[in-house]
Amino acid sequence: MPTFLTSLLTAASAMMLGPTGTWDLRAGDQTLFRIEIKEEPGGPVATWDRPERFQTNGEIFSHIEGRTIRRQTRNIRVVNSDFEISFDDPGSGPTILRLHAVDTDHAELSFQGAPFEPFPLVKAQAGAPPLGPWDSGRSYVPTVSHSTNAEMTAIFDADQADRQSPDIDWSAIGPVDNRRRIRTKQLLDAGTLQSGDDYYHAAFVFQHGNEADDYLLAHLLATIAVARGRPDAVWIASATLDRYLQAIGKPQILGTQYAIPENGPVTQEPYDRALISDAMRKALRVPSLEEQEQRLRAYGEKASTPHKP
């Protein structure tokens, strides 16, 4: 076989090893981009369906306006089994995209020259609806799928199980909590925790720490959990912020912490009630000041009730 023909066949074969097929960038029930790469007699062709106008900071897409436009190109090259695709952009330089296949159903999309993490793509289903319509006043967050770490889940389950007994031996649980924090920190440092569930679980583990830095780390972990699809983690983010403030000698600002001393009234003090409005408390899944007063009285009544022998 002539050398030049062998080279052509090898290049064509390499081209097909890339992420061919149809890929969607999803945001909940909406499709933001659809990219299709298919083989044609003249070589592979890429099409890109996208909104006419949009803005992105790498985390969200906003100001999506206009119709769906389609760009097409044969300017495709293989770079380490990825596809680098150049689309002409009227009025400016070309837009260069890079597609990396993660597995048969998932890929990643990068914009060359943009300081963004790759966007997650999923293989489009047969008969998938067209793009749009979009709400120009809404922000769209790309759907990201992260696997949950089984060991982190087991650590969290054990942490919670130790707190179910009505008669908790804190002297025994303290050292176990410390070992759980050490192992969780190792998992975090190794980059093996990825999902919202992982960060939610890790936040609870560090909330049960003893130092201000434990509570601060728990607050940050809960914040990441919210960003990765666990909106219920906003409460643990609130509680750990209050706990951190108390640990550094500052008043809490949300009212999540109640001190129940052996001798003396139940208290939330020190507590700066004026900094945060009840509307903000509601957004953070924290009871209003009135509800907190009711809870404070209930805790006080329970604490003052003599225990039956």
CATH number at residue 98: 2.40.128
- Secondary structure letter of residue 92 according to DSSP: S
Measure the CA–CA gap between 267 and 295, rounded to whole angstroms. 11
User: Where does a domain end: 123, 141, 159?
Assistant: 123
Measure the CA–CA gap between 277 and 6, rounded to whole angstroms. 72
Cis bond upstream, residue 270 (ω within 30): yes
Instruction: Say if residue 170 is in the same domain as residue 293.
Output: yes
Q: Please report whether residue 177 resides in a domain.
A: yes
Instruction: Say if residue 191 is in the same domain as residue 299.
Output: yes
Measure the CA–CA gap between 111 and 57, rounded to whole angstroms. 12
Instruction: Say if residue 183 is in the same domain as residue 280.
Output: yes
- The pLDDT of residue 288 is 96
Instruction: Say if residue 161 is in the same domain as residue 297.
Output: yes
Query: How many structural domains is the chain composed of?
Result: 2
Which helix (H) or strand (E) segment is 235 a member of? helix 233-247
Instruction: Say if residue 160 is in the same domain as residue 279.
Output: yes
User: Where does a domain end: 123, 140, 165?
Assistant: 123
Contact 22, 124 (CB under 8 A): yes
Measure the CA–CA gap between 291 and 297, rounded to whole angstroms. 10
Cβ-based neighbours of 58, under 8 Å, separated by 6 or more: 114, 115, 116, 117
Copy the structure tokens of residue 271: 């507590």
| CA distance readout (Å), 226 to 3, 181, 230, 268, 302 | 57, 21, 5, 26, 34
Radius of gyration over every alpha carbon of the chain, rounded to an integer in angstroms: 27
- The pLDDT of residue 18 is 61
- The pLDDT of residue 247 is 97
Q: Count other C-beta atoms under 10 Å from residue 145's C-beta.
A: 13
Q: How far out from the chain centre does Cα 191 lie?
A: 14
Q: Please report whether residue 51 resides in a domain.
A: yes
Which helix (H) or strand (E) segment is 171 a member of? helix 170-189
Q: What is the pLDDT along the chain (309 residues), one digit of tens a residue?
A: 444 433 433 444 444 446 789 999 999 889 999 999 998 888 889 999 999 999 999 989 999 999 999 999 999 998 988 999 999 987 778 999 999 998 888 899 999 999 998 999 999 988 888 998 899 999 998 888 788 999 999 999 999 999 998 888 888 999 999 999 999 999 999 999 999 999 999 999 999 999 999 999 999 999 999 988 899 999 999 999 999 999 999 999 999 999 988 777 899 999 999 999 999 999 999 999 999 999 999 988 887 665 554
Instruction: Say if residue 76 is in the same domain as residue 202.
Output: no
- Backbone phi and psi for residue 236, each to the nearest 5 degrees, phi listed first: -65, -30
Q: What is the CATH number of the domain that holds 222?
A: 1.25.40
Domain boundaries, position 158: 150-304
Measure the CA–CA gap between 219 and 203, rounded to whole angstroms. 7
Copy the structure tokens of residue 241: 């912020």
Instruction: Say if residue 154 is in the same domain as residue 14.
Output: no
Query: Which residue from 89, 136, 103, 106 is spatially nearest to 24, judged by alpha carbons?
Result: 106
Q: Please report whether residue 299 resides in a domain.
A: yes
- Secondary structure letter of residue 209 according to DSSP: -
Q: Count other C-beta atoms under 10 Å from residue 46's C-beta.
A: 21
Instruction: Say if residue 83 is in the same domain as residue 212.
Output: no
Q: Please report whether residue 140 resides in a domain.
A: no
Measure the CA–CA gap between 214 and 241, rounded to whole angstroms. 11
Measure the CA–CA gap between 282 and 219, rounded to whole angstroms. 18
DSSP state string for 174-204? HHHHHHHHHHHHHHHHTT---SHHHHHHHHH
Name residue 47's amino acid. Answer: T
User: Where does a domain end: 123, 138, 162?
Assistant: 123
Instruction: Say if residue 195 is in the same domain as residue 78.
Output: no
- The pLDDT of residue 41 is 87
Instruction: Say if residue 106 is in the same domain as residue 158.
Output: no
Q: Please report whether residue 234 resides in a domain.
A: yes
Instruction: Say if residue 107 is in the same domain as residue 236.
Output: no
Contact 184, 213 (CB under 8 A): no
Q: Please report whether residue 29 resides in a domain.
A: yes
Q: Please report whether residue 247 resides in a domain.
A: yes
- The pLDDT of residue 7 is 42
Which helix (H) or strand (E) segment is 79 a member of? strand 76-79
Instruction: Say if residue 219 is in the same domain as residue 115.
Output: no
Q: Please report whether residue 309 resides in a domain.
A: no
- Is the whole-model pTM more than 0.75? no
